[in-house]
Amino acid sequence: MLKTNMLGSKKSYSIIAVLLIFLCHCVRVIPGQKQILGDISEQKISQVYDEDTRKENVYRRPPTYLIIASRIVRPSTVYQVSVSLLKAAIPMRVRAALSRDSVEVYGDHVNMKPEESRDILLLVPPGNNVASDYRLRVEGSVIGGGAIVFENETILEFSRKFLSISIATNKAIYDGGHEIKIRAVMFTTSLTPYNSIADLFIIDPDGFVIRKWNSKELNNGVLIGSFVLPMYPKVGFWKIQVSAQGQIEEKTIKVEKYYVPKFEIYVQMPTFVFTTDTLIQADVSAYYPFEKTAKGDVVLRWFAKKIDYTTPMYNQSTLYNKEYSYY
């Protein structure tokens, strides 16, 4: 009985060994997985961190072209694409196209040689829809209608801002009855005056449009407008808004109800004047209560009266101008 058990155990060991060898031969290598052959130390596989530090020799094709373009596209502007063919390239025809919502809006091509750089200019159509999908597609093909050598398509970002708008007013704070004078200077991205049309709005603090000019023409890039405030306007911060093809610029002004402070006028003249004098000199000065000098035009009138030798000199004031002769 003992011999029989020993023989049975040997048979079972041999069967297990055969199964292990069969399983080892049935293991399939997953695509992209490295095959481990030889000793572990020779293959430089870390048994602690389970890392494979073996080096692989990968063949890489040398670069043949370089494309440089802005990621932001603006309406009514010229979009520039710079293309360079490197030394490893072949002569080819390079075409660049700009599409909006999967529809090509403008395209152009150039024939280039290796180690040459050219610019392709694309005209962006007017429009202010931010939700539109703009894409730039550049492809190179063999000259003469051959196969396509490379192609590249990139998603662009749309920006409504294509103008430089500067809004100026004659004052920063206004009162009732004052005139608001507006001047807006508008330039394109190429620093040339914008000579199309624009809209001008004056908005009160509550957001209501008080005055508007629709499709106002510009004079050499300058937009001019004026508006007279009522005597009792709504105080607060008003807005001056300029809109051109979807681009909006605003300027804030303040409207307050204030009163001009009073000022005092001082006139200094000599106490006595001789009849032989041909010139009478007077010094006029004006100051506000907070000691600020007042500026403006002065109208000076001279009154004279004969001395009657009965009225005291301290009573000789401007209250008795009717008794004086005006010169």
Choose among 177, 100, 99: nearest CA to 139: 99
The structure's pTM equals 0.52
Least confident of 110-119, 154-163, 210-219, 282-291: 282-291
Please identify, in words, the CATH class of the domain defined by 65-158.
Answer: mainly beta
Amino acid at 36: I
- Tens-place pLDDT, residues 38-89: 444 444 444 555 555 555 555 567 888 899 999 999 888 889 999 999 988 8
Cβ atoms within 10 Å of 115's Cβ, excluding its own? 11
Indicate if the pLDDT at residue 208 is higher than 90.
yes
Q: For residue 51, give the DSSP letter.
A: E
Q: Domain 163-255's class?
A: mainly beta
The size of the chain, in residues, is 327
Give the CA angle between residues 153, 159, 160 to the nearest 5°. Answer: 140
DSSP 258-309: --PPP-EEEEE--S---TT-S----EEEEE-TTSPBP-S------EE----S
> What are the domain boundaries of the chain?
65-158, 163-255, 264-326
Q: Is the pLDDT of residue 316 over 70?
A: no
pLDDT interval class at 36 (50, 70, 90): very low
Fold agreement between 65-158 and 163-255: yes
User: 312 or 207: whose pLDDT is higher?
Assistant: 207
> How far from 324 is each of 298, 307, 318, CA to CA, in Å?
21, 11, 9
Angle among Cα 313, 318, 324 to the nearest 5 degrees reads 80
